[in-house]
Amino acid sequence: MEHTKNEMSPYAKQFFSSLKQYLDTKIYFYGSIQRNDYLPNHSDIDVDIFTDNETSTIIKLQNFLGVKRYEFKKIVYKLHKTNKVVYGHKVKYENPTYNFSTELSIFDEKYKDNILIEHNSKKTLPFYISISLIILKTIYYKLNILSKRVYMNIKNFLIDNMIDGKKSEYITTEVSKHKDKDNDK
């Protein structure tokens, strides 16, 4: 998962190379970048980062991405494949100039094996789901006739319910912007 099935844009390659070097850690790619339904310049690139010190890694990411602490969402995620509950953080980063979007997930190193099992289980999708996702993404990104909410609901249904037979279980919480004023440095 350190390499991608699909080719990334030159900007994305440079971004992740610089990020990997800056954090001095491996970056694991998952989601559509590893499947047939990836649409260049439209699909975001999902990444897992595992660390022994989440707080330090988040501070480094704040600096690298130029984002505020409150933009990191806390997550609680129940994994289907191992039936474990894991905790971490997510942050979305976009650079519209380069049609680039990524979602970075930061987890404690102790969750690494379980999360990689979960994400690897969705690398190879049944043909009918891959085709359905490509059609759905084309309708959403190129024809712009679905709302984001409808798109996400259909996409999640296809990936979660049609493969695992159950919906992903996770909770996302936000850090208050007011509480974060001391951490905006």
DSSP string, 78-108: E-TTT--EEEEEEEEEEEGGGTEEEEEEEEE
Where residue 125 falls among pLDDT bands split at 50, 70, 90? Answer: confident
Question: How is residue 111 annotated by DSSP?
Answer: G
Residue 124 — very low, low, confident or very high, per pLDDT cuts 50/70/90? confident
Tens-place pLDDT, residues 142-164: 999 999 999 999 998 888 765 66
Q: Which domains, and CATH codes, for the chain?
A: 10-183 (3.30.460)
State residue 92 phi and psi, 5-degree precision.
-100, 135
Q: Can you read off the two tokens belonging to residue 80?
A: 């289907």
Return the sign of the alpha-carbon dihedral for residues 96, 98, 103, 104: negative
Residue 69: DSSP 8-state: G
Q: Give me the chain's average pLDDT, please.
A: 89
Range in 48-52, 74-78, 120-124 with the lowest mean pLDDT:
120-124
Residue that wins the pLDDT comparison between 105 and 163: 105
Phi, psi torsion values for 167, nearest 5 degrees: -75, 145
Name, in order, each residue with C-beta under 8 angstroms of 173's C-beta and a sequence gap of 6 or more.
73, 74, 75
Residue 93's pLDDT is 98
Beta bridge partner(s), residue 90: 73, 105
Q: What is the pTM of this model?
A: 0.87
Give the C-alpha separation, 185 to 76, whole Å. 27
pLDDT tens string 31-48: 999 999 999 989 999 999
Under a CB-based contact definition with an 8 Å cutoff, are residues 56 and 63 in contact? no
For 166-175, the pLDDT digits (tens) are: 555 656 776 6
